[in-house]
Amino acid sequence: MDPLVRFRDAHSKGIIPDDVFDLTVKRFPIIVEGINRIEKASGIQYPVAYVEPSLVISSPSPNSYEYGILFARTLPVLFDDQFQVVIQISAPLVAYGLKGTIHAILAHEFLHFLELIRKISKMDLLSDEISGNLFENVYSDETRLFEPRVVFKDRTLLNHITKRFPAGFRDYKLEDKVAKFWSGKNLPTSNISLDSNTVKLSAESISKIKISPTFISKIDQLQEKSLKIRKKKLY
């Protein structure tokens, strides 16, 4: 899969202007570098990733003025009984994000990927909670992810994650750039509700998913180490 195929298609249709297209393609190697870095730091292959040719924003309800920018998302895909996890990376992040920010977001989504695989291996997806509040979503997100220092053996990468995700991701400079150079130019925007940014798979679908026993064992080890660290934090 060409990770830029949707972005190239949007450009060929005139949806993405030449200057934004050229900038995004020029900076795409930062994504590749980040993925390679995460794979080296974790010893685990990164899932399939692609660039979404739009700014993805989410709000608690269609009538709400509160919204958050989703610079990347972890999406489960089930096609012809074949399960695949895909990381959706928004084009504005590639075009305007600092290298450290991009790598931190890629690493954060990688933690979501591990959590998703853990839940599938434990048949623990049907009861996944839905929250309609952005703050509650951030809290839930932070309390159920693997501990980054357990997963990544890269001090600089860990510093990027710690700085940018102390309690949910916010980068005001990036958001200002996106507002000026993307939203301000009326480039494509996708609006989703928080309720749609959840994972729901049937028990039958989950039962058909095959995960390498070696990978499951690795996930279990990371989870056990993460739990030990969190217990130390509590006590």
- Domain-embedded: residue 235: no
- Domain-embedded: residue 117: yes
Name the residue range of residue 180's domain: 5-227
- Domain-embedded: residue 234: no
- Domain-embedded: residue 233: no
- Domain-embedded: residue 43: yes
CA distance 118 to 200: 15
Number of domains, the chain: 1
CA distance 7 to 25: 9
| C-alpha to C-alpha distances, 157 to 2, 55, 84, 101, 166, nearest whole angstrom | 26, 25, 26, 10, 14
Q: What is the pTM of this model?
A: 0.86
- Domain-embedded: residue 101: yes
- Domain-embedded: residue 94: yes
CA distance 157 to 150: 12
201: nearest Cα among 103, 91, 84, 89:
84
Rg (the chain; Cα; Å): 18
- Domain-embedded: residue 190: yes
Q: Nearest 5°: phi and psi at 5? A: -60, -45
Per-residue pLDDT of the chain (235 residues; tens, 9 = 90+): 799 999 999 999 999 999 999 999 999 999 999 999 999 999 999 999 999 999 998 865 555 455 688 899 988 887 666 778 899 999 999 999 999 999 999 999 999 999 988 888 877 654 444 444 444 455 456 556 789 999 999 999 998 888 877 556 678 899 999 999 999 999 999 988 766 555 566 667 767 778 888 999 999 999 999 988 877 765 5
**What's the helix, strand, coil split of the chain in %, to 5?**
55, 15, 30
